[in-house]
Chain A
Amino acid sequence: MYVYLYDNFLKKKKFVTTLRAIEHKLMDFGISGKILRLQQFVDPRRMIEDEIRRGVKTIVIVGNDDTFAYVLSKAATIDTTFGFIPVGPNNSMAEVLGIPSGDGACDVLSKRRIESLDIGTVSNKNKYFIAKLEIPAAAIAVSYDDLFTASSSTGLAELIVTNLIPYEWNRRWSNLTTVRPQDRQLDAFFRPLVKHGVVRKVLEDPSVFQFRILEVESIDGYPFEVYIDGHMSKEKHIVISMAKERIRVIVGRDRQF
Chain B
Amino acid sequence: MFKKKHEDEYLDNEYIEEPDDTSEQQDDVETVVGPSVHVEGDFVSNGNIMVKGSVSGNVKTSKLLTTEPGSQILANVSAGDAIIAGNVKGNVKVSEQLEITATAQVLGDISCQVLVVEGGALIKGKVTMKGLSIDTPASKSRSKKAASKSDTSDTEETE
CB distance from A103 to the nearest CB of B (A): 14
Residue of B nearest to A114 (CB): B16
User: Which residues of chain B come closer than 8 Å to A257, judged between CB atoms?
Assistant: 25
Residue of B nearest to A187 (CB): B29
Are A113 and B17 closer than 8 Å at their CB atoms? yes
**In this complex, which of A81, A114, A183, A207 has the most chain B Cβ atoms within 10 angstroms of its Cβ?**
A207
CA A147 to CA B29, docked complex, whole Å: 19
Residue of B nearest to A152 (CB): B36
Are A110 and B11 closer than 8 Å at their CB atoms? no
CB distance from A20 to the nearest CB of B (A): 19
Tell whether A92 is near chain B: CB-to-CB under 8 Å: no
Residues 1-51 of B contacting A (Cβ, < 8 Å): 3-4, 6-8, 10-11, 14-17, 19, 22, 25-26, 28-47
CA A1 to CA B45, docked complex, whole Å: 44
Are B57 and A151 closer than 8 Å at their CB atoms? no
CB distance from A24 to the nearest CB of B (A): 13
Contact with B along A133-169 (1 / 0, CB 8 A): 0000000000000011111111001000000000000
Are B42 and A148 closer than 8 Å at their CB atoms? yes
Known A147-B41, A149-B41, A151-B38: A207·B15 in contact at CB below 8 Å? no
CB distance from B40 to the nearest CB of A (A): 5
Residues 111-147 of A contacting B (Cβ, < 8 Å): 111-116, 147
CB distance from A173 to the nearest CB of B (A): 15
Tell whether B86 is near chain A: CB-to-CB under 8 Å: no
Interface size on A, residues (CB 8 A): 38
User: Which residues of chain B come closer than 8 Å to A207, judged between CB atoms?
Assistant: 32-34, 37, 53
Are B40 and A192 closer than 8 Å at their CB atoms? no
User: Which residues of chain A come closer than 8 Å to B8, judged between CB atoms?
Assistant: 30
User: Which residues of chain B come closer than 8 Å to A16, judged between CB atoms?
Assistant: none
Are B57 and A113 closer than 8 Å at their CB atoms? no
A111's contact among B15, B31, B39, by CB below 8 Å, is which? B15
**In this complex, which of A57, A191, A204 has the most chain B Cβ atoms within 10 angstroms of its Cβ?**
A204
Known A29-B3, A192-B37: A111·B10 in contact at CB below 8 Å? yes
Known A149-B40, A178-B28, A180-B25: A205·B14 in contact at CB below 8 Å? no
Residues 183-219 of A contacting B (Cβ, < 8 Å): 183, 190-192, 194, 204-210
Are A149 and B29 closer than 8 Å at their CB atoms? no
Known A150-B38, A153-B53, A183-B25: A28·B31 in contact at CB below 8 Å? no
Which residues on B are within 8 Å of A, measured CB to CB? 3-4, 6-8, 10-11, 14-17, 19, 22, 25-26, 28-47, 53, 57
16 CB-based A-B contacts, threshold 8 Å: A110-B10, A111-B10, A114-B15, A115-B16, A147-B41, A150-B33, A150-B39, A151-B38, A151-B40, A152-B38, A178-B25, A183-B26, A204-B34, A205-B32, A207-B37, A208-B30
